[in-house]
């Protein structure tokens, strides 16, 4: 593990490129159970399981790209297509026995909690990105889902392989509540994690479409905006439903999806006490407009 920060993005890319990325222990248990009845397992069933673990999803997509056959002339941008391309038995052979994050961070319980929080955010972001994409009638909902799930993959790797430094980042932010996350990262790591993320997805040779969907600089695209909004919502909601940034997120999502804010809030599971007043205000506004 990294005991001290490196000097550049390139050094971090080289370091992470030589690491065996761990996955969640529950993923290994679940795959072991599925393998016991392999004949009944479909690619869709496996994909659903993989999408519960961003680390495993990352491994699947990068493995397929590393072992891409010459005859393959198109990118594989979703987990279920990756599994279909690979085959059920080869999938179990390659991914049935992987190192786990629980073992990797056994001596760093606080870092493990930090990693779990990022993974939880990623799963919420993927779920909400999918919900938004369904409302938008996106051309491929699964692509948007994967992009949101992997949007913070680099931060997960830092928690896995630089747990002491990541805890220093968290302490720096706690001591300086007004400090932005990237500023705290740069103070400890000499680089911002989003910049490492942008470089990593290219170094892993992820499909160009997924790279585009994960790049916030492409926010003019509705599909990219879909991913960004879901990730913003997940990050802010992790602080509680009273986070002051959430109303702006709801408004932005409502504008993108062309639905009411209260609809967005219900769709993502906001408690009644928060969305009912918004729905009431919307109804009153509609009634006033009708009277006018």
Which pLDDT score is estimated for 288? Answer: 77
Helix residue ranges, H only, 207-271: 208-213, 222-237, 246-257, 261-267
Phi, psi of 42, deg, nearest 5:
-110, 165
| Nearest-angstrom CA–CA distance, 46 and 73 | 24
| Nearest-angstrom CA–CA distance, 231 and 148 | 7
- pLDDT by 10-residue block (mean), the chain, 292 residues: 91 93 97 94 93 96 80 78 91 95 96 97 97 95 96 96 95 92 94 95 91 93 97 96 95 96 94 93 81 58
Which pLDDT score is estimated for 125? Answer: 97
Which pLDDT score is estimated for 70? Answer: 64
Which pLDDT score is estimated for 175? Answer: 94
| Nearest-angstrom CA–CA distance, 130 and 49 | 16
Domain boundaries, the chain: 23-98
HSE-up of residue 62 (Cα within 13 Å, Cβ side)? 18
pTM: 0.93
Residue 55 CB neighbour total at 10 angstroms: 24
Which pLDDT score is estimated for 75? Answer: 77
First CA to last CA distance, the chain: 66
| Nearest-angstrom CA–CA distance, 256 and 258 | 6
Closest C-alpha to 83, from 140, 113, 44, 29: 44
């Amino acid at each position: 593990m990294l005991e001290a920060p490196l000097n550049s993005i390139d050094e971090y890319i080289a370091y992470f490129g030589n690491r065996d990325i761990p996955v969640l222990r529950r993923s290994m248990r679940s795959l072991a159970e599925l393998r016991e009845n392999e004949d009944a397992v479909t690619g869709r069933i496996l994909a659903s399981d993989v999408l519960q673990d961003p680390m495993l999803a990352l491994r699947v997509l990068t493995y397929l790209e590393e072992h891409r056959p010459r005859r393959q002339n198109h990118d594989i941008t979703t987990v279920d297509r990756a599994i279909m391309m690979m085959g059920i038995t080869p999938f179990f052979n390659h991914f049935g026995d992987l190192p786990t994050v629980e073992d990797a961070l056994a001596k760093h319980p606080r870092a493990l909690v930090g990693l779990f929080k990022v993974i939880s955010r990623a799963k919420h972001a993927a779920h909400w990105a999918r919900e938004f994409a369904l409302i938008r009638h996106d051309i491929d909902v699964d692509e948007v889902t994967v992009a949101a799930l992997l949007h913070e993959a680099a931060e997960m790797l830092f928690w896995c392989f630089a747990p002491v430094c990541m805890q220093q980042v968290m302490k720096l932010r706690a001591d300086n509540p007004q400090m932005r996350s990237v500023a705290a990262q740069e103070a400890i790591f000499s680089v911002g994690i989003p910049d490492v993320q942008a470089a990593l997805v290219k170094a892993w040779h992820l499909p160009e479409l997924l790279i585009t969907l994960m790049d916030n600089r492409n926010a003019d695209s509705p599909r990219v905006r879909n991913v960004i909004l879901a990730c913003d919502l997940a990050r802010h909601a992790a602080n509680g439903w009273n986070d002051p940034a959430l109303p702006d997120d709801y408004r932005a999502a409502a504008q993108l999806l062309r639905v009411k804010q209260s609809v967005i809030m219900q769709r993502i599971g906001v408690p009644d006490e928060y969305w009912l007043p918004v729905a009431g205000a919307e109804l009153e506004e509609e009634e006033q407009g009708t009277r006018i």
